Structure 1
Amino acid sequence: MNKSVLLASALVLAGLSSSAAAAEGWYVRGEAGTTTLEIDGSEGDDDTFSARGGYFFTPNVAVEGFYTNYGDDSGDGVSIKASGYGVGVVGKKNFGPDAHTGFFISGRVGAVHIETKLGVEGVGNAKDTSTEGYAGVGVGYDFTNNFGLSLNYDYAKTDIFDVDAKLKTATLGIEYRF
């Protein structure tokens, strides 16, 4: 996937959002947790955070855009830092008395553009980018029609300097719906 596909997806998202202004509504969410970066059998983990926002067209379907800082890891003179932004579709099923209350399960899929910076002591720095698919699941509780908390797990497989890498992210999320 390339940048033009990501841009086209963002434009579709913007068009759908403005044409469905009377539907369910906007939301913002913040997530914080840990990302494990696995490269060629080696693993490292660090704190991560994500800022997300989107629009629920129905109580069960939303589109969202996001930025995630996957963190950085270093050791033996090598440092790696990863971040990404993307767009996706969210599915959510609440088990409470209202459309947005009670326990829920959720899933999300989409595309993420990942930027990876690599530093090698005494050699220098390099940057690589990749646009890949991602998938995630979550469980949580919506306390009101506007406010909820969740535990989330996201997975993305990417290519860093022609080496396969996996980003496995576990977060606690807080969401506010307008």
Structure 2
Amino acid sequence: MKKSLLAASVAAAISLASVNAFAADDGLYVGASIGKTSSSALDDLDSIPGVSVDDSDTGYKLFAGYNFTSNIALEGFYTDLGQISATDGINKVVASMSSVGVAAVGTLPVNDSFGVFAKVGYQAWNARVKETGMSLVRGDGTDVVYGIGASYNLDVVSIRGELERYDLDGDGVNLLSLGVAFNF
């Protein structure tokens, strides 16, 4: 249901944007995205009888980048990947995750206003795990981040939807988001 709602929102935003404008070939941009995260980190616990797993949450991303050409950009980001949790009714484990990093973005313009893109980059992630009756445990590391998306440019504003994968030591968190960027 939430994925359908997000997809419908992206389609509505693109169809409502009827201005025929084009983005500059180069320049600075800043923006924010919000969407749904999902993780595979607790998949093993989901099969244990009596254990309930919540492996999705709301996530958001703040980003800034520079378009060197209409095809190549470099983007820095901070992403809050939300929380995942598992409980057996007595004990509860909650993990909160965030990431900061940089990614190379390759864009294929379809026309003057619409383009599709792919990205790959490097991130430093941080995870905080809290268990009932236990102290906070922290973990961190560096891993790859990659994704695909589409962007519709309205002169100084771009609407974008994307699916990103944040690897965290063999597990991963996906972020499906809708965002807006301001082009300078």
Q: Does residue 147 of the first structure (1) align with residue 157 of the second (2)?
A: yes
Residue in structure 2 matched with residue 95 of structure 1 by the alignment: 110
Instruction: Return the structure number with greater strand share.
Output: 1
Q: Does residue 105 of the first structure (1) align with residue 116 of the second (2)?
A: yes
Q: What is the rounded CA distance, in whole Å, between the counterparts of 2:178 and 2:74 in structure 1?
A: 20
The Cα offsets for residues 73-93 of structure 1, whole Å up to 9 and x where unpaired, read as 334211110001001111112
The Cα offsets for residues 91-120 of structure 1, whole Å up to 9 and x where unpaired, read as 1122223xxxx2210111100111000001
- Judge conservation of contact 1:158–1:166 (CA < 8 Å) in 2: yes
What is the 5 A alignment of 1:1-178? 24-41=26-43, 42=46, 44-76=55-87, 77-97=92-112, 102-144=113-155, 146-159=156-169, 164-178=170-184
Aligned letter for 2:103? Answer: G
* TM-score for both structures, normalised by structure 2: 0.75
Q: What is the rounded CA distance, in whole Å, between the counterparts of 1:127 and 1:72 in structure 2?
A: 14
Q: How many residues align structurally?
A: 147
Structure 2, gaps ≥5 residues long: 1-24, 47-53
The structure that has the greater radius of gyration is 2
* TM-score for both structures, normalised by structure 1: 0.78
Q: What is the rounded CA distance, in whole Å, between the counterparts of 1:96 and 1:32 in structure 2?
A: 26
Alignment RMSD (CA, Å): 1.5
Compute the displacement of 1:40 (Å).
Answer: 4.9
Compute the displacement of 1:143 (Å).
Answer: 2.1
The Cα offsets for residues 118-175 of structure 1, whole Å up to 9 and x where unpaired, read as 001012210000100111000131122x21111100012212xxxx311111000111
Q: What is the rounded CA distance, in whole Å, between the counterparts of 1:143 and 1:135 in structure 2?
A: 25
- Judge conservation of contact 1:40–1:165 (CA < 8 Å) in 2: no
The Cα offsets for residues 25-83 of structure 1, whole Å up to 9 and x where unpaired, read as 10002110011121152560100000000111111111111100001133421111000
Identity in percent = 25
Q: What is the rounded CA distance, in whole Å, between the counterparts of 1:24 and 1:151 in structure 2?
A: 20
Q: What is the rounded CA distance, in whole Å, between the counterparts of 1:127 and 1:29 in structure 2?
A: 29
Aligned letter for 1:33? Answer: G
Question: Residues 135 and 69 from structure 1, CA distance in 2 versus in 1: closer, same or farther, beyond 3 angstroms?
Answer: same
